[in-house]
Structure 1
Amino acid sequence: MSVFGRSTPGRGLAVLALAAICLWSVAPHRPGFAAERSAHGPERVAGPDDARMAAAPGLYAGGTFTRAGGTAVDRLAAWNGTAWSRLGAASSAGPDGSVTALAVYDGDLIAGGSFLTAGGIRVNGIARWDGTAWSPLTGSSGTGVMTTALDYVDALTVFDGDLIVGGQFLRAGGVTVNHVARWDGTEWWPLTGPNGTGVDVPSVWDLAVHDGALIVGGGFGQAGGTAANGIARWTGGAWTTLGTGFNGDVLALAVFDGALVATGGFTQAGGVAANYVAEWTGSGWAALGAGLNAEGRALTVFGAALVVGGTFTGAGGSAANYVARWDGTGWSALGGGTEDIVLAVAVHSGRLVAGGFFLRAGGVVANHVAGWDGTGWSALGGGAAAGTDAGVYALRTV
């Protein structure tokens, strides 16, 4: 989970800390957050004339790790239900910096983060894997989104056939976009309304699709020149607000039972008390019971419940270590939870998968990533081959 994905004062300190240690020649290993959000809307499906390779089915994990299941990898690895593998042959290098967001677009895996190259090719923070090789997202004016050492991608989704990219960057493909952009497969474009383009602060933490609109969450105060307070919707030609927004950053978004749900570093939503998680009713924000006792940082839908991962140790007034479920009426823990922060959640082969900073889940040695089958936690891989050697920040099922 991101040291940037937190309340505004904390994020500012984190940015200063990163600036002191990163070099432009090597993308910074930014502890980022992103998550699999299964309710982010439909993804474009490759057409019948598309004969090229596509990303193989499986669970993909991104982070700062360089080993997965005991195998050397480049901050990105695939889990097929039995074993971990790298993307491509041993000679095919992956991203050279941290991977903090994953999505699927036109059948390809899209990876975003704070890396300059992938497969030895200059990509500037975002790249696509077609099952065989890496390629950049290049428009007529330039490639990718990284133009300074502090730029990165932290959120990805698909809306209206375009790939939507959010994070900290002013330009995409050389086009001024202000921290959120769209890629139509050929060119980069800004998200512009009558009053402005993008958002006013470099803090787009998540993206979702709800009720026919793109939802953008973060720590910004304006979107398209309109006051927005951490959340806004873009319909393709205009920016609008969802009530009066939040008193803290929105770090993750999902759609559960038809409602938009936001979690993050806030304690009020639309002026209503809401402890770190809230839902949009269509006319206002409402709390989900007693909520959490600290930030939520990842969301997904697992079965008939919404699952939240984050920095919290309590949900609904009861103990819940870093991961909890909301069934629409109440909160409950997932066994003993994990021993440290959960940054990403996804669903793969009927199991919930959580990734983050933890080494154990439910008392089981798991090393940063673990599966929950509804009754207990288990590692992805066994013994020394379990999990990864550093944090997992993004999960995506293909």
Structure 2
Amino acid sequence: MKYIFTAILLFLLSYNSKAQGWEDVSGGIDDIVYDMIKFDNELYVGGRFYFGVKSWDGSTWTNYPNLPGIGSILTLSVHNDTLYAGGGSPYQSSQSSVFRLINGGWEQIGGNFNKNPFSSTQQLISYDSLLISGGRFNTIGGVTIKNIASWDGNVWDSMGDGLDSTVLHLEVHEDTLYATGEFMASGSNTNVQNIAKWDGSNWISFDSNIVFSTTGPMKSFQGDLLIGNVWNNISGIEMKGIARWDGTNYSSMGDTIIKKIHEFWEFSNELYIAADIFASPPLILKRTVMKWNGTDWSQIGANFNQWIVCLEDYDNMLYCGGQFSAPTSHIGRYNPFLSTNEYKLEDKEIVKVVDLTGREIVEKPNTLLIYIYSDGTTKKVFRVE
């Protein structure tokens, strides 16, 4: 049998970095992954799945007890060598809480977070000597604290007048804490729409000259602050989804194909994003991970069928988690060794086709295959539609 591959070969030659592999992580996870973090030499994963938190040591998963009253673990953070977790139960309760992992079990810190119809902690971050909780709440333990709070090891405390609506993202850049979210004011200060800066006593305007129509996740990167989901025209420059701020001036790191940024991540001195991007036709979205090459963004790996929510690196590999069920189940690991730079098939008789485990299979789209020829040679090919 001779294998004729002309049409598909041309497609593969243009496929370049997309033909690289996201691989399964020990069967995956059965529901949404919202956050991941390295702690105590393992990768901890939080989400909506049963148990809510798991850890991965490179070969096996360990399950941890459920957090009482928390339906979905939305955030994990390490503070003072201790792992903390928070989240919410939007369809069950107007209360939520923050917990720390002690001797394999969870211990609640401080009182309950409250807000009707539901409350949540969206992000925890270690800042200075404090643990900061941003989310949706207006009291903690009966004390008025609006949507952002600090934990000093003993009590939750307000941060100035707080913020008037949900805090979704937090970032520390140049020793300063920044917040983005759905808020429009801090007390009487209405110059903090969607983004605010903490001056040690109050939430103040990030830039009094600009009203950010939308914001998203942030990242401190190479001395600058990156702000996702910014579509403003600033000083005549379209931000196209990513504004880069050097402390004085703005430049764009965005692209017209970007629809939404879910996460930034820096790994091995390279910047990655989890994003929704426009495909063709424009109403169709692709969910993918992209890498910055210093000039523009290039996709790595295959498309995912649903949102990629979070990125993390562990054991010198890049991981992603989210709502997706394909090409992996809610968590995937990028393996550059699944990549192939040689797409041309030889004009020789093919004895059989196997997958990466050596199991003989029938060819199918979107799969990395190993072709074994009659002369004993082999070639890896990513088979596409």
TM-score (norm 2): 0.70
Contact 1:269 1:278 survives alignment (8 Å): no
Task: Rate the CA distance shift 1:368–1:239 in 2: closer, same or farther, 3 A.
Answer: same
- Report the equivalent of 1:212: 175
Q: Structure 2 CA distance, aligned partners of 1:370 and 1:136?
A: 31
Aligned ranges 1:37-186 → 2 under 5 Å: 56-66=40-50, 74-87=51-64, 92-95=65-68, 96-115=70-89, 124-138=96-110, 143-186=111-154
Q: Deviations over 1:317-336 (max 9, x none)?
A: 9x974221123322111122
Aligned match for 1:369, one of 312, 320, 331: 331
Q: Structure 1 CA distance, aligned partners of 2:264 and 2:123?
A: 13
Query: 2:324 aligned with 1:358, yes or no?
Result: yes
Deviation at 1:171, TM superposition (A): 1.7
1:97 alignment partner AA: G
1:355 alignment partner AA: G
1:144 alignment partner AA: N
Percent of aligned pairs with the same amino acid: 24
Q: Structure 1 CA distance, aligned partners of 2:87 and 2:123?
A: 9
Q: Structure 2 CA distance, aligned partners of 1:287 and 1:350?
A: 29
Q: Deviations over 1:41-64 (max 9, x none)?
A: xxxxxxxxxxxxxx6431111111
Contact 1:309 1:324 survives alignment (8 Å): yes
Task: Rate the CA distance shift 1:94–1:221 in 2: closer, same or farther, 3 A.
Answer: closer
Q: Structure 2 CA distance, aligned partners of 1:32 and 1:249?
A: 24
- Report the equivalent of 1:241: 205
1:110 alignment partner AA: Y
Aligned ranges 1:216-365 → 2 under 5 Å: 216-223=179-186, 225-243=189-207, 244-245=209-210, 247-264=212-229, 266-268=230-232, 270=234, 272-290=237-255, 292-313=257-278, 321-361=287-327
CA RMSD of aligned residues (A): 2.9
Deviation at 1:175, TM superposition (A): 2.5
Contact 2:241 2:255 survives alignment (8 Å): no
Task: Rate the CA distance shift 1:374–1:31 in 2: closer, same or farther, 3 A.
Answer: closer
Task: Rate the CA distance shift 1:240–1:35 in 2: closer, same or farther, 3 A.
Answer: farther
Q: Structure 2 CA distance, aligned partners of 1:173 and 1:269?
A: 43
1:83 alignment partner AA: T
Deviation at 1:289, TM superposition (A): 4.5
Q: Structure 2 CA distance, aligned partners of 1:217 and 1:269?
A: 19
Q: Which moved more, 1:334-343 or 1:245-254?
A: 245-254
Task: Rate the CA distance shift 1:269–1:62 in 2: closer, same or farther, 3 A.
Answer: farther
Deviation at 1:352, TM superposition (A): 1.1
Structure with the larger strand share: 2
The structure with the larger Rg is 2
Q: Structure 2 CA distance, aligned partners of 1:235 and 1:34?
A: 28
User: Aligned residue pairs: how many?
Assistant: 298
Q: Structure 1 CA distance, aligned partners of 2:101 and 2:162?
A: 27
Contact 1:219 1:248 survives alignment (8 Å): no
- Report the equivalent of 2:371: none
If asked which structure has higher relative contact order (CA below 8 Å, sep 6+), I would say 1
Q: Structure 2 CA distance, aligned partners of 1:267 and 1:115?
A: 31
1:279 alignment partner AA: R
Query: Which sections of structure 2, spanning at least 5 residues, go unmatched?
Result: 1-30, 340-356, 358-385
Contact 2:32 2:324 survives alignment (8 Å): no
